Amino acid sequence: MIEVEQLSRCYGDFQAVREVSFRIGRGEVVGLLGHNGAGKTTIMKMLTGFLEPTGGTIRIRGLDLRCHRRAVQARIGYLPENCPLYPEMTVLDYLDYRAALQGIPPQQRPAAIRRAVERTALAPKAGAPIATLSRGYRQRVGVAQAILHEPEILILDEPTNGLDPTQILHMRQLIRTLAERATLILSTHILQEVSAVCDRVLLLRAGRLALDARLEELAAPHRLLITLDQPPEAAMPRLQALASDCTLAEEKGPRYTYALGFEDPLAAAPRVARTIGEAGWALYELTPERRDLETLFGLHNSEVAHA
């Protein structure tokens, strides 16, 4: 569906995006994650054809964006971070205006607007001036204009930015509904948003792609954490014989926590416990290591920062 190869963008001497490559398949919900200034918005603007890359290629449904800009843009719905709305217009007037810009024939516009209003739950505010809407409803108007032409791909830049907790929950539900019909990319610097709605994460750091993984893969344990009464000089030789790697993770008084690497940590746990019992060591804890997105975010940011 979407193929990005060695994508770069420079502003003078500043390189905002550095040789980023990834592929996104049909129906995926992908979170573009990174701190402010990581390059998320720049990538989204290039994906939508609003910004020319300095280098690299973008193909959508096999079409090169440089050569088929209009055809590609017709397949995309885009919610910019600060969606331009006209406060003096009513919601329906604005959506009618946007439908005209999208090239929807006049006879088809009422049905397209009605579908967008229903899907974004805007009916109670359909006749209201945009100036009177809350931030949450304005974001819904932004999403409505993005889906008027039934795009195959939706690109949402910071869709929950500035929303209160209730509005965030409503936006999450809307995103899940939209994902039933379209491939979806959303950018955010908020880890909880990725965990709540995405299948996969692309983590950016200083314009580079630091991580590309599915969320269930990130959550899968790769190591066992065991806490013993034995110091490294006594425990390490036997533990290293069990695992592909073994490190001292923590030392608290007379207790030592070791991290043991296994291809299948859960299957290895009984063997580890049996070995410790045979050695006569006190076992205080044995548990699979669970990695959360917050930990990985900090880990990969640190790795890239020191690369």
Tell me: the pLDDT tens digits for 100-127? Answer: 999 999 999 999 999 999 988 899 999 9
What's the pLDDT at 273? 94
What's the pLDDT at 221? 67
Q: Which residue has the tokens 């971070």?
A: 81
- What percent of the chain lies above the pLDDT cut of 70? 93
Is pLDDT at 280 greater than 60 in this prediction? yes
pLDDT tier at 154, thresholds 50, 70, 90: very high
CA–CA dist 200, 24 (Å, integer): 10
CA–CA dist 158, 186 (Å, integer): 7
Instruction: Give the residue-averaged pLDDT of 32-56.
Output: 92
**Which numeric CATH code is attached to 222-289?**
3.30.70.3100
Which 8-state DSSP code applies to residue 195?
Answer: H
Is pLDDT at 264 greater than 90 in this prediction? no
| Beta-carbon contacts of residue 88 (< 8 Å; ≥ 6 apart) | 129, 130, 131
pTM, entire model: 0.75
Domain with CATH 3.30.70.3100 in the chain: 222-289
Instruction: Give the residue-averaged pLDDT of 15-21.
Output: 94
Tokens of 86: 């006209």
pLDDT averaged over every residue in the chain: 89
How far CA 53 is from CA of 5, 16, 160, 213, in Å, comes to 11, 11, 27, 24
For residue 64, list its beta bridge partners. Answer: 59
Instruction: Give the residue-averaged pLDDT of 211-227.
Output: 82
Instruction: Give the residue-averaged pLDDT of 148-173.
Output: 88
What's the pLDDT at 163? 81
What's the pLDDT at 305? 37
Is pLDDT at 293 greater than 80 in this prediction? no
249 vs 131: which has the higher pLDDT: 131
84 vs 113: which has the higher pLDDT: 113
**Chain-centre distance for alpha carbon 285:** 34
What's the pLDDT at 291? 65
What's the pLDDT at 306? 34
Domain with CATH 3.40.50.300 in the chain: 2-218
Domain 2-218 has CATH 3.40.50.300: yes
What's the pLDDT at 68? 94
Instruction: Give the residue-averaged pLDDT of 45-50.
Output: 94
What's the pLDDT at 294? 64
Instruction: Give the residue-averaged pLDDT of 149-156.
Output: 94
What's the pLDDT at 219? 67
